[in-house]
Homo-oligomer: A and B are copies of this chain.
Amino acid sequence: MKILLDMMGGDNAPLAPLEGAAAAIREYGVQIIALGDEALLKKTAQEHNIPLDGMEFVNCTETIAMCDEPSLAIRRKKDSTIVVGLQMLHDGGGDAFVSAGSTGAIHVGTSLIVRTLAGVKRPALATIMPAKKQPFLLLDCGANVECRAEMLTAFGVMGSCYMQRMMNRTSPAVALANNGTEETKGTPLLREAYQMLKKTPGIRFVGNIEPRDVPNGDADVVVCDGFTGNVILKLSEGFAKMLLGMLKDIFLANLAGKLAYLLIRKGLGGLKKQMDADEYGGAPLLGARQPVIKAHGSAKAKTIQNAIRQAKLCIDTDLCGTMQKALDDLEAEKEKAAQA
């Protein structure tokens, strides 16, 4: 199994991708195709004593920056790690692509180069989010700012597949993020999506979920447009950071605080781990024909390693094939309903 890895993407490149790749090779027995500035990568590896066994290098002379306009960058930077990696994935030169680079460029590049499953117009960015009971899948998290009801329905189907195959959830509960539980709540888009999801075969739609209940983790899949998903994902991150920061101030305030910290250090470590998005790897672009995983821009070595594990699992479980079958079923059901 060959994982194409963007070595130049993210705030901690190329060190974090190098360390993450080495750990993944050692622990999961995958092969890594390392895309980036080969000389820099080999030099960095040597400086940090990172073994390169199992890594194959593909030299890329360009990188797409976070500030680059995604569509333009994909068209012009032909020798960038993202374009080369996605093209190799499409051409059979690898089984999955992992990058901590620009979300926009990975999204556009995936649509244009890897292409989407039949019935999917643009892939959705899906993120596993921490919650009280258990983590859940949130999609779309920001790739598609504006959505139509059919897109939200497809998100529900793809999210359900993902949680079954990748997280072993039996009959995952799919919910629609809305400002009330009644089916008459929300915008016209959400009311239309509610009715479509209710009739969608093969998924267990449990209705609307209110934002205040999202952190409980009652649903396995939370469906929303990319704008709302971005608000949910980023506000949660910001809020957790604020609260944990305020807590840290209390612990550091005086001797009593420091002692208190020592007493519950283990419990706090568990809490922090449960809240830590890095544990779950990256955000898959669901609806792409082949596995594409976007790791957080601030990805550390462990995050990259987890994203590679996630990519391996996508391949092992034939996630994309399963998803295509579920989408085909949805299409067939729609045609049947139209003929009836």
Q: Residues of A at under 8 Å CB distance from B? A: 131-132, 142, 145-146, 177, 179, 186-187, 210-216, 226-228, 230-243, 245-247, 249-251, 253, 256-257, 259-261, 263-264, 267-268, 271, 274-275
Nearest CB to that of A244 among chain B residues? B243
Q: Do A214 and B235 form a contact, CB below 8 Å, given A142-B179, A145-B187, A260-B260? A: yes
Q: Is the CB–CB distance between A179 and B211 below 8 Å?
A: no
Q: Is the CB–CB distance between B250 and A230 below 8 Å?
A: no
Residues of B within 8 A of A247 (CB): 247, 271
Q: Is the CB–CB distance between A131 and B210 below 8 Å?
A: no
Residue from the list B233, B242, B250 in contact with A268, Cβ < 8 A:
B250
| 9 shortest interchain CB distances as A-B pairs | A212-B238, A250-B267, A260-B260, A211-B234, A212-B234, A260-B263, A211-B235, A215-B242, A256-B263
Besides A231-B231, A232-B235, A256-B264, 12 other A-B contacts (C-beta < 8 A): A132-B245, A177-B231, A211-B234, A212-B234, A212-B237, A214-B238, A235-B239, A239-B239, A239-B240, A246-B274, A250-B271, A260-B264
| Cα of A215 to Cα of B238 in the assembled complex, Å | 6
| Cα of A264 to Cα of B215 in the assembled complex, Å | 26
Residues of B within 8 A of A264 (CB): 250-251, 256-257, 260
Nearest CB to that of A271 among chain B residues? B246
| Cα of A34 to Cα of B177 in the assembled complex, Å | 38
Q: Is the CB–CB distance between A213 and B231 below 8 Å?
A: no
Q: Do A242 and B216 form a contact, CB below 8 Å, given A235-B235, A257-B263? A: yes
Nearest CB to that of A228 among chain B residues? B231
- How far is the CB of A81 from the nearest CB of chain B, in Å? 23
Residues of B within 8 A of A274 (CB): 246
| Cα of A250 to Cα of B233 in the assembled complex, Å | 25
Q: Is the CB–CB distance between B238 and A179 below 8 Å?
A: no
- How far is the CB of A314 from the nearest CB of chain B, in Å? 26
Residues of B within 8 A of A231 (CB): 177, 179, 211, 228, 231-232, 235
Residues of B within 8 A of A236 (CB): 235, 239
Nearest CB to that of A236 among chain B residues? B239
- How far is the CB of A230 from the nearest CB of chain B, in Å? 4
Residues of B within 8 A of A246 (CB): 132, 271, 274
| Cα of A237 to Cα of B239 in the assembled complex, Å | 10
Q: Is the CB–CB distance between A211 and B238 below 8 Å?
A: yes
Q: List 10 A-B contacts (CB under 8 A).
A: A132-B246, A146-B187, A186-B227, A211-B233, A213-B238, A214-B235, A214-B238, A215-B242, A231-B235, A236-B239
| Cα of A177 to Cα of B210 in the assembled complex, Å | 19
Nearest CB to that of A182 among chain B residues? B67
Q: Is the CB–CB distance between B241 and A215 below 8 Å?
A: yes
Residues of B within 8 A of A234 (CB): 179, 210-212
Nearest CB to that of A178 among chain B residues? B227
